[in-house]
Amino acid sequence: MRHKTASIFRILLLALLVTSITTPVFADVTLFAGPNQTPTNRPLTGASLGLSLLIVGFEFEYAATVEDRLTKAPSLKTSMFNVLIQTPFSSLAGLQFYATAGGGLYREQFMESLTTGLGSNFGGGVKVPLAGTVRLRLDYRLFSLKGSALHPRPQRIYAGLNVSF
């Protein structure tokens, strides 16, 4: 009986230790729009779903840019998994800065030409508080598309509405 009591005590002590050192986890969703600037400015829309620990975060992002035949600019769809390094708390004036890098899949299409492949991206941005859990997210990304993409280094800037929960 004494062995069983000692085992229960150890389990409770371990559970107390683990819960006291873990950090809260926050999730957020962002709906965004902006220009894809390669090779010409065209509308971009997308969404991301993120999970953040104190400094490190992870997000899955999907974005789509439309084709423009007049300027010979292909459509581009990206599905990326990214890691974010961010300021742990809102800093100056409530702003939260972050840097991000990741990779995933892309699909570029112009008329009958279709290319699908792997890509990577890096960039950064800032989350600006608006009201409660709602923030404005401003972001810049530079992509590197592998394979035979017509434009292997697209850039984009976007603004989005970010809600954390």
pLDDT tens column, 94-130? 899 999 999 999 999 999 899 999 999 999 999 999 9
Domain count, the chain: 1
**Could you give the CA distance from residue 135 to residue 160 in angstroms, rounded to a whole number?**
8
pTM of the model as a whole? 0.81
Q: Is residue 14 one of the residues assigned to a domain?
A: no
Q: Is residue 141 one of the residues assigned to a domain?
A: yes
Q: Is residue 71 one of the residues assigned to a domain?
A: yes
DSSP 121: E
Q: Is residue 3 one of the residues assigned to a domain?
A: no
Domain enclosing residue 71, as ranges: 23-164
Please tell me the predicted confidence (pLDDT) of residue 1. 58
- Which CATH number fits the domain that encloses residue 40? 2.40.160.20
